[in-house]
Chains A and B, each alone.
Chain A
């Protein structure tokens, strides 16, 4: 694979322009920048690691195929994540969500502890927080995770979870308040 380092300094808009012209290195860089968010947005809807990975993959293909129709009104990331959310919702309608899956095995933890003891403690805490997140109403959980995990704006969150910007904000604040109470 070619060295993609020259693309690393480019903003998404420029990468999109290059990707539209067929530059593979630009597509690679867009994947590198956004695949984690794509995966997590899909996870938030499907709660299944395998399905989320498949959806992320399909969404990138769909996004690149549709680049000619992407007018740049929104950021590429927002556009991509909208595709992810739509794909995930479509898959959810078809196959449902694996409710029974233990989210503790959904993937490695974000934090990278320096020692095993620290890592274990963080894993335990992460698992506890995941269980608490599961106790939130769906919209609150999605608003909180999209805001905290992906730093999406309330407008972006509203578009992804089929609600308004204001409703997304309210759901986020209610969710945070409940989590604060539960975490004590």
Chain B
């Protein structure tokens, strides 16, 4: 024997118990349950079954979170993930946009030294032009750290580190 309203309500009971129904749907189920013994019995059966629902062991959530952070961060650091450019200097990471900005400034200074202030482009200061260049788009990475776009794709880690050392010593 088919009972359409009861069938519809029973079909929705798991979602209703899980709080997944829209407000209107949820209210319709509650109204029906209030006046239907058979559907309340069905609900009691589901509630009995829910007593058998296994819960995860304590600490599993934290364990998964920690593992995800540990492994994915580790992997990104080892494969030059395009979303982050990890260059170790002690325990600090240098965002790629900082490197690119520094390199642009360095190149601009070189050009200025070669051309001189009275060169053919004297009216347009190369340093100013370089600094006005838009920086690469930045992305958020682990813990909100800002990392830059891969502006040195062609360089190896060693070359990048040499560039950093060069930049650090460039001012002296």
Contact = CB atoms under 8 A, between A and B. Distances in A.
A70 interface: no
Contact of B48 (A18, A39, A56, A183): A183
B50 A22 contact: no
A147 interface: yes
B49 A129 contact: yes
A60 B68 contact: yes
A43 B68 contact: no
Interface string A95-128: 0000000010011111100000000001001110
Interface string B117-154: 00000000000000000000001111110010000000
B61 interface: yes
Interface residues of B, number: 40
A183 B52 CA distance: 13
Contact of A53 (B48, B56, B69): B56
A159 interface: no
A26 B65 CA distance: 11
Contacts of B140: 18, 21-23
B14 A35 contact: no
Interface stretch (B15-23, B29-37, B96-104): B15-23
A148 B83 contact: no
Interface string B47-70: 011111111110011011101110
A151 interface: yes
Dominant SS among interface residues on chain A: helix
B144 to A, nearest CB: 6
Contacts of B81: 22
B144 A22 contact: no
Interface string B64-79: 1101110111011000
B107 interface: no
B65 A180 contact: no
B106 to A, nearest CB: 28
Interface of A: 2, 18, 21-25, 27-28, 31-32, 35-36, 39-40, 43, 49, 53, 56-57, 60-61, 64-65, 103, 106-111, 122, 125-127, 129-130, 133, 144-145, 147-151, 176, 179-180, 183
Q: 6 closest A-B pairs (Cβ-Cβ)? A: A126-B51, A129-B52, A151-B18, A39-B56, A110-B53, A151-B14
Interface of B: 14-15, 17-18, 20, 45-46, 48-57, 60-61, 63-65, 67-69, 71-73, 75-76, 81, 83-84, 139-144, 147
14 contacts: A22-B83, A22-B141, A23-B140, A28-B65, A53-B57, A53-B60, A57-B67, A60-B64, A110-B51, A110-B55, A111-B51, A129-B51, A130-B52, A151-B17
